Structure 1
Amino acid sequence: MIELLISVAFYLSTALTIGILLLPSRHESKPVTSQNAANEPKTTVQILVLGDIGRSPRMQYHALSVARNGGQVDIIGYHESDVHPEISSHPRISIVPLPPHPSCLQTSNKLLFLLFGPLKVLFQIVCLFWILAYRTKPAKWLLVQNPPSIPTLAIASLVCFLRHTNLLIDWHNFGYTILALKLGDSHPLVRFSRTYEKIFCQYATAHLCVTNAMASVLKDEFALKAPILPLHDRPADHFQPILDDRVRQDFLRSLSETESVRPMIGSDKVRVLVSSTSWTADEDFSLLIEALCRYSDLAETSNPELPSVLAIITGKGPQREMYLRQIADLQKNGKLQKATIRTAWLSMEDYARLLASASLGVSLHTSSSGVDLPMKVVDMFGAGLPVVGWNRFEAWPELVTEGRNGRGFGSSDELVKHLVELFGNQEALEKLRAGAREESSRRWDDEWNPVAGKLLGLV
């Protein structure tokens, strides 16, 4: 039934697109002048994000790189949070916001999700077709973030065919593996999603992906014939190490989240831990909560020399309130005497400064596919922050060198062990920090220019 609804929605959207394409464009052409000719872009790129643009850093970095190299960019997506300041001010970048879907279609209930899912997809189909086929001018390239795959890949494939645009898919993960977290691997919709993804990705001119491991899957299991180009995430320029201890301490003291430990900042009595999470099923935040509870118990009983921990958790997501209630109960019951957990939503600049000022970063990303990587770790390395992260997936070694710039864990027991060893031994922590600062020299433009820049004809 669900497959039928989605199929009907797709065919309806196809008819809608053809009708829209017959309508006159709302963009008025301007007379050609010598000044216009001099400012003619090297290429035109539309970047499609079926999500919040402000929470899609990689796609923002794509836009900035295209624009800096002389291309014209339209970023299409939900404009819910602040974007990179240069995105807003750059004359070659325009934001085309998608209308938000009706709130009545949002639910965390599994049964209602199956009912509302096709309706949400139909709404997205209409909005995407309207913007891609009518509200915007044709571009030479359409760069699509994947996932989500439904309905993005089908719409993008059709519009690119009708407008003679080259489709470029940027693979961050696989849509069907993320769907399986909610519905299970054997669910019919998951199987349908996998088939759908494999079919429509065949229409792309080329593919970018975040790891070499993902490139192997696309080549071997998806049997793609078009070029597959690994493009590893690297930090943007605003993520930089802060080498002056006094500057780091002053910034931490300026945050309201540090109020309870402010007098101890700069001493050996407290360590600041930071983690960024989307509060979703692919990041088991209970691992960190359990580890902090056990760390607190050890610091109070058998190892009183251990410093207190302030954990600052940034991000927004559906499971946030559930975990906040759990944390409040633990604090009430005295389980976090030596650990304080605070949540924050910071500007991009303050988030970068927080990473550069903290003692240790934590990544809870578990990878639904095993071949994607958490960009938060890239940002942490950009700021010179050592990392401990969940490492039970294939692509982890492409990002972290064990013992040099970070450590991996596969359970709360292992995470506790790392926290005790690193927070109880400043020399071990500084060794990892030196490795993270060395890693920070690897930047986005160094990775992007010879791969995507060359493909788009910009470098």
Structure 2
Amino acid sequence: MLLTLLVFISTLVTILLLLLPSQRDPTDQQCTVQVVVLGDVGRSPRMQYHALSIAKHGGHVQLIGYRETDPLPELLVHPNVTITALPPAPRWLQTGNKVLFLLYGPVKVLLQAWTLWRTLSYSIPASRWMLVQNPPSIPTLLIAAIICFFRRTRLVVDWHNFGYSILALKLGPDHLLVALSKLYETSLATAANANFSVTDAMAKVLRSELRVPAPVLTLHDRPANLYQPLLESQRLAFLQRYTVLARHFNAIVDKKTRLVVSSTSWTADEDFGLFLDALCQYSASATSSHPQLPELAIVITGKGPQQQHYLDKIQELRQGDALEMVSIYTDWLSFEDYALLLGAADLGVSLHTSSSGVDLPMKVVDMFGAALPVAGWNQYPAWPELVTEQVNGRGFGSAEELADILRQLFDPASKELERLKQGARAESRRRWSSEWDPVAGKLFGLTT
């Protein structure tokens, strides 16, 4: 079914593209880039950073994606940036049910293919470059490849992960659609003129397993300048006005309560249940064998399909007194306030499990930008490319290990948290521009 659908889309788009009204002038040397996100632009920080870097170096950017949340304020006011919103898919096509997913999937793909094709081929002029986020792969890679071919636009794929590995989380690794998705992704990967990967491990897979013929350039995620270490006066000012934690303000200042932050998309590749188990174990220890341990205030930021399920679970644990020493809050913040929250926290927690084993969570990069040490799930090969164990963070592979880390770091007699804080502060000096300029900037001809 998926293969038939893809053939249909390919044929339809090819015919329509033959009638494209606007072709790029091959003699035009101006750096114009279409940055394409088949997702919420506001929740795609890396693609926003790409757009902002291109604009700051004099390039002209057309940022295309869904406008569900506001993008970075700098993008909204930059004269070299134009944002084009894609019409959103109907909400009824969003489902976590496996059977409905198989039924709705082809309809959603057709709608996305149509809106993406119509926007890229008719709504906006042709560009010299097109930078496409992957995943999602279907239908993005197919549409982008065809449009770039007919418009003589150079295609660059920014590999955040593999679409088929994410699909495997929902359907299982042996499902036929997963195999077809991998074939689709592998085939279209050859259409790019260049590729960026978020890790060296992913670059190796692209070269050896997907056999991508075009250059594969590792472009590690780094924090934007928005994420900075805070002075104590800045930290206190934020905590004073942050109403979510109002009742904990004095205790946080006196270190009788420690502030922990986790950002999640509430999806299957982040096991929030593990975090809850660890917090229950910590609470049990703090009320019995380790009375010196402080209370914890946990702020979970983000939106996603499994959020209500876990909110119900949290309420159940509260009623059973399993979280006596832990207070959990959920929130959705602006970019500016989220950066301040990270700078005000004592520890960040990442539950990203990596469907492919070779991608890395952007949230950890942001935490390091704010000099926030991290405890994260480390059971995948690319983890050491981001976190240095016992220097700027700690890795765990179970709820028991995370509970042990929380007890060790928040023991008032321990100096380990402060040592990790110093390591995170050193890591915060590594910025997006220092990574982007010699890699992407050079490719686009904007830097030397």
1:136-175 to 2 correspondence within 5 Å?
A: 136-175=124-163
Aligned match for 1:406, one of 377, 384, 393 = 393
Task: For 1:323-342, list aligned pairs within 5 A.
Answer: 323-342=310-329
Deviation string, structure 1 residues 311-353 (Cα, Å, up to 9, x no partner) = 0000010000110010011111111110000001001000000
Q: 2:79 aligns with which of 84, 91, 95?
A: 91
Secondary structure in 2 aligned to 1:265? helix
Structure 2 gap segments, 5+ residues each: none
The residue number in structure 2 matching 1:18 is 18
Separation in 1, partners of 2:29, 2:265: 36
Q: 1:274 aligns with which of 245, 261, 276?
A: 261
Q: Deviations over 1:244-278 (max 9, x none)?
A: 2x431331232122133233121131000000000
Matched, 1:259 2:258: no
Equivalent residue, structure 1, for 2:381: 394
What does residue 9 of structure 1 align with?
A: 9
Local SS of the residue matching 2:415: helix
Match of 1:348 in 2: 335
* Aligned counterpart in structure 1 of residue 190 of structure 2, from 184, 198, 202: 202
In the alignment of these two chains, the number of paired residues is: 444
Question: Which residue is 1:291 aligned to?
Answer: 278
Root mean square deviation, CA, Å: 1.6
Structure 1 residues 249 and 41 mapped into 2: Cα distance closer, same or farther (>3 Å)?
Answer: farther
Q: Which residue of 2 aligns with 1:75?
A: 63
- Which residue, 426, 433, 437 being the options, matches 2:425? 437
- Name the SS for the 2:403 alignment partner: helix
Counterpart secondary structure, 1:176: helix
Task: Report how far residue 14 of structure 1 moved.
Answer: 2.8
Q: Please give the residue correspondences for 1:355-434 in structure 2 after superposition, counting only pairs within 5 Å.
A: 355-425=342-412, 426-434=414-422
Q: Contact between 1:107 and 1:113, CA under 8 Å: does it hold in 2? A: yes
Question: Alignment partner for residue 213 of structure 1, among 201, 220, 231?
Answer: 201
Q: Distance in 2 between matches of 1:122 and 1:131?
A: 14
Offset of 1:225 from its aligned partner? 1.4
Do the aligned partners of 1:41 and 1:71 also contact (CA within 8 Å) in 2?
no
Letter in 1 for 2:269: D
- SS of aligned partner of 2:39: strand
Alpha-carbon distance in structure 1 between the residues aligned to 2:152 and 2:279: 54
| 2: CA distance, partners of 1:397 / 1:243 | 29
Once residues 440 and 117 of structure 1 are traced to their aligned partners in structure 2, the CA distance between those partners, rounded to angstroms, is 41
Post-superposition offset of 1:89: 0.1
Counterpart Cα distance in 2 of 1:340 and 1:260: 11
Using the alignment, how far apart are the partners of 2:337 and 2:271 within structure 1? 25
- The one-letter code matched in structure 1 to 2:334 is S
Q: State the identity %.
A: 56
Match of 1:237 among 194, 209, 225: 225
Asked whether the 8 Å contact 1:42–1:458 carries over to 2, the reply is: no
Aligned to 2:297: 310
CA positional deviation for 1:41: 8.4
Paired residue for 1:228, among 204, 210, 216? 216
What secondary structure is seen at the aligned counterpart in 1 of 2:323?
coil
- Asked if structure 2 preserves the Cα contact closer than 8 Å seen for 1:3 and 1:189, the reply is no
Counterpart of 1:15, as a letter, is I
Distance 2:105 2:409 in 1: 45
Contact 1:10 1:125 in 2 (8 A): no
Query: SS state of the match for residue 392, structure 1?
Result: coil
Distance 1:201 1:428 in 2: 44
Q: TM-score, normalised on structure 1?
A: 0.94
Q: CA deviation at 1:18?
A: 3.0
2: CA distance between counterparts of 1:16 and 1:342? 50
1:6 and 1:200 map into 2 onto residues whose CA distance is 12
Instruction: Check the 8 A contact 1:253/1:265 in 2, yes or no.
Output: no
Distance 2:2 2:50 in 1: 35
CA contact (8 A) 2:62 2:84 kept: yes
2:376 and 2:394 in contact (8 A); partners too: yes
Distance 2:2 2:52 in 1: 39
CA contact (8 A) 2:410 2:417 kept: yes
Quote the Cα distance in structure 2 between the aligned partners of 1:149 and 1:317: 20
**Deviation sequence 1:210-236 (CA, Å, 0-9, x none):** 000000000100111111000000000
Deviation string, structure 1 residues 22-73 (Cα, Å, up to 9, x no partner):
x479x9xxxxxxxxxxxx9840000000000000000000000000001000
Q: Deviations over 1:400-420 (max 9, x none)?
A: 000000000000000000000
Counterpart amino acid of residue 174 in structure 1 = F
CA deviation profile, 1:118-144 (whole Å, cap 9, x unmatched) = 110000111011011111111000000
Partner residue, 1:453: 441
Change (3 A) 1:284 1:408: same
Secondary structure of the structure 2 residue equivalent to 1:278: coil
Contact 1:385–1:433 (CA under 8 A) maintained in structure 2: yes
CA distance in 1, matches of 2:95, 2:6: 19
CA distance in structure 2 between the partners assigned to 1:15 and 1:188 by the alignment:
29
Q: Is the 1:6–1:121 Cα contact (8 Å) retained in structure 2? A: no
CA offset at residue 11 of structure 1? 2.1
> Which runs of 5 or more residues in structure 1 are unaligned?
28-39
Supply the distance in 1 between the matched residues of 2:247 and 2:7 (Cα, whole angstroms).
Answer: 55
Rounded Cα–Cα distance in structure 1 between residues aligned with 2:424 and 2:55: 29
CA distance in 2 between partners of 1:83 and 1:41 (Å):
28
